[in-house]
Structure 1
């Protein structure tokens, strides 16, 4: 299902936002569109995606269009790339926001979140998340496939369109859980931070080893994170891939952005920032001045370290 907006003028920037129907993604779409960017809002579910676009149009933002996208489905990715090529012939901004948390919670914990977190400070809320999260193998595999490989495959498919832009930007929505300090193995930390030598093939090997250790119950023994482990490792790998991409394509601006601990469905409503505040930290990176930094990690809108 696609919206019916006319092709924008040649100098109009075109953006794609993955996972744009709710939470941070929806707010990123709203804020980009409010800045004069034509936004392609993508979501897995066509009904929810179309409803999100209608909501934005109700706010007076007419240059927003919906296109279905499941980032783990190659045919869905190809369909989006084909649409963008035909409709716009280029892409200026790609915000890779779609992600999963790699954990599960008991069903009853999904209700009355506001009551559960009322009066709790930031650290107490994080502790609640860590205490109640369960990490089955299938959720870990889905997390790696979505957060790393899904993001990578979308990016690769849209690279030709990004290279057709005069100043293209890729913003990979990251997390402080993707920082290398969460990985106990000094060898793994060193490899992930050695961007001059790191390859995508080596990243594949490391992720395969992580999943093997996860299934064998050897995470702690081999220096992997033990809480939100797949989410942390997947985001750390995505950060490393972003830096590889920035090195390989110096004409692009490829950066990672941690929005902060945001109150969304993924955080079970425990976050301390609103989606609007979190999205602002992402949009700031997407709209950096021409010729800005690349291969950089931003935390809450400011340059920070990939390590800690």
Structure 2
């Protein structure tokens, strides 16, 4: 049975992604910053007959928490097949604009969205290397595309700008590029995936169905050895091929 770890998996897109991987026969570790919220998420999944789920206390901004999660999972399995870096924040309370956002907002967003991805990836790379088909999906956003955000012809160009969130996700995208390059001669497939504007608490419940968002992430967690690596995908933005510019 293949296994996956999903950060920020107790709700929203992370929870839906866990649900879909469980339905495909995975054993899923649900990373949750809050132990009780993680426990409730697992109970909900098990009530639906999805029993191969386990909550793991995991705060991606805390070195000790990440280390403890790695040790706990390492006691249960020698191999991790999929890592989905899903945990993310927008930087706290608005405003998020380049001229008004506080330094603390940028620091908080980068600590979760960039440093957290690096912490977790580095902690679990040893288990991932033991998989025959290791996959890493870094959950991104089209807001993190420098090309799209600077293109006046892009349909969303005149939407509200999110300097804090966008800057952190653009930095995470660069981490994805570098990681894929370093592991280019291995069996790893590593991609940044935008699930689309989705109806969760993150968007005040505006947007598309969470089921579709989860499906988009799962697709790249399950790609075979002929699949892409080191790419950026947003099927909401580009329905034809999914790939969008960095």
Asked if TM exceeds 0.5, the reply is yes
Partner of 1:122: none
Structure 1 CA distance, aligned partners of 2:24 and 2:206? 29
What per-residue deviation string (whole Å, max 9, x for no partner) do you get for residues 132-187 of structure 1?
xx733322210011101111111111111110111100000000011012666xxx
Q: Does 1:166 align with 2:100?
A: no
Question: Which consecutive aligned stretches of 4+ in structure 1 deviate over 6 angstroms post-superposition?
Answer: none
Q: Distance in 2 between matches of 1:255 and 1:236?
A: 13
CA RMSD of aligned residues (A): 1.9
Post-superposition CA distance 1:225-284 (Å, at most 9, x none): x9311211111111111111111112211101100000111112222x111111111111
Aligned residues of 2:192 and 2:232 also touching (Cα < 8 A): yes
- How many residues align? The count is 229
Q: Does 1:42 find its partner at 2:31?
A: yes
Match of 1:256 in 2: 192
In structure 2, how many angstroms separate the alpha carbons of the residues matched to 1:160 and 1:87? 14
Partner Cα separation in structure 1 for residue 182 and residue 234 of structure 2: 23
Q: 1 CA distance for matches of 2:168 and 2:176?
A: 12
Q: 1:23 aligns with which of 9, 12, 15?
A: 12
Higher helix share: 1
TM-score, normalised with respect to structure 2: 0.88
Matches within 5 A, 1:286-301: 286-300=221-235
Q: Which has the larger radius of gyration?
A: 1
Measure, in 2, the Cα distance between the counterparts of 1:142 and 1:50: 25
Contact 1:103/1:228, CA 8 A, preserved across alignment: no
Quote the residue 2:91 is aligned against.
102
Structure 2 matches for 1:259-270, cutoff 5 A? 259-270=195-206
Q: 5+ residue gaps in structure 2?
A: 151-159
1:236 matched to 2:176: no
Aligned equivalents of 1:257, 1:104: Cα separation in 2: 25
Q: Find the aligned partners of 1:163 and 1:291 in 2 and give their Cα distance.
A: 18
Q: How does 1:147-226 map to 2 (within 5 A)?
A: 147-181=113-147
Contact 1:103–1:135 under 8 Å retained in 2: no
Provide closer, same or farther for how the CA distance between residues 57 and 284 of structure 1 changes in structure 2, counting only shifts above 3 A.
same
**Distance in 2 of aligned mates of 1:171 and 1:48:** 23
- Which runs of 5 or more structure 1 residues have no equivalent in the other structure? 1-11, 107-129, 185-225
Distance 1:275 1:161 in 2: 29
Aligned twin of 1:195: none
